[in-house]
Amino acid sequence: MVGWQLRLTPKQAAAKIVVAVVGLAIGAYGVATVYEPLQGLQDELDLRKGELLRYYKTKHDERIRQAFYKRHDMAPNFSKVFDLRSSLSAHGIICSKFEPVVAPSDIMLEKLGLRPVSEWTASTITHRPGMVMLNGIFKSISHLQWIKRSLFIYAESPGFTNVGLQVPNVRNVFKEYGRQLRWSTLGLHYDWATKIYPLEGMHFSVSLILKERLDYEECCVLVGLQIDEKLETRESETSATDDTVLSWPRTIFNLPHTSGAIDH
């Protein structure tokens, strides 16, 4: 039972009820006219902020893309690129019929996917002694075969690659470092570390030629030289061994300086 001292008079109770009702009305009015619009404005600002971010990101990407393709939109200039498949005496380029000292057999050519030697031409550059480029030696159907060899076989030791310059004793070059692989070579006539051609012709041993087992016989091929068991036996009779040092390129090529040059 409430004590008499806590009881309110009817007039006081009515006044408190009026105050409570007015307070609720003011609160409801404030929520309806101030808080809810502010909350809606905040949501709208968040939405527009996301739209603005997407808009400027898209514009930034477009500018970057336009700048990139604009840089590559220029037509390439091939004025200083020469076709080595034809002679250009003004630039010291000589293209002549390829005449190997020892010609590969037809069986060897077929297994290696090469054209007949009679269709080969060789190009040399007078101010690049030791550099010889053989033209059109591969059959069209063997291109993928030689690409596979270049990636999986010739990139391995004793060949040289840009990966091998950074990773000593590297193995499985293409499988492990395919994204970093840029070139593979035997490295006989070009210093890939300094990127300088030697001023004098280089000598190399026949033992450094490419080796690969094809079907049932082991073949060794070096731009027109082939060595198998029969050839080794025959050359041993003429005092030629696997360690015979050959001079590049005059010993294995008959490339005249002027006669026999091919012009197109």
Contact of 86 with 96, CB cutoff 8 Å: no
- Res 189: pLDDT: 54
Note the pLDDT tens digit of each residue in 84-127: 889 998 889 999 998 888 888 888 888 888 999 999 999 999 98
Closest by Cα among 109, 102, 118 to 138: 109
Cβ atoms within 10 Å, residue 173: 23
Q: What is the pLDDT of residue 112?
A: 86
Share of the chain above pLDDT 90, in %: 9
Q: What is the pTM of this model?
A: 0.45
What pLDDT shows up at residue 191?
64
Q: Cβ(109)–Cβ(116) under 8 Å?
A: yes
Cα torsion 26, 31, 37, 43 to 10°: value is: 160
Query: What tokens were used for 79?
Result: 């004025």
pLDDT at 245: 33
The three-class DSSP label of residue 135 is: strand
* Low-confidence stretches of the chain (pLDDT beneath 70): 1-8, 28-32, 34-43, 56, 60, 65-73, 186-193, 195-264
Q: Where are the domains of the chain?
A: 11-71, 89-247
Q: What is the pLDDT of residue 131?
A: 82
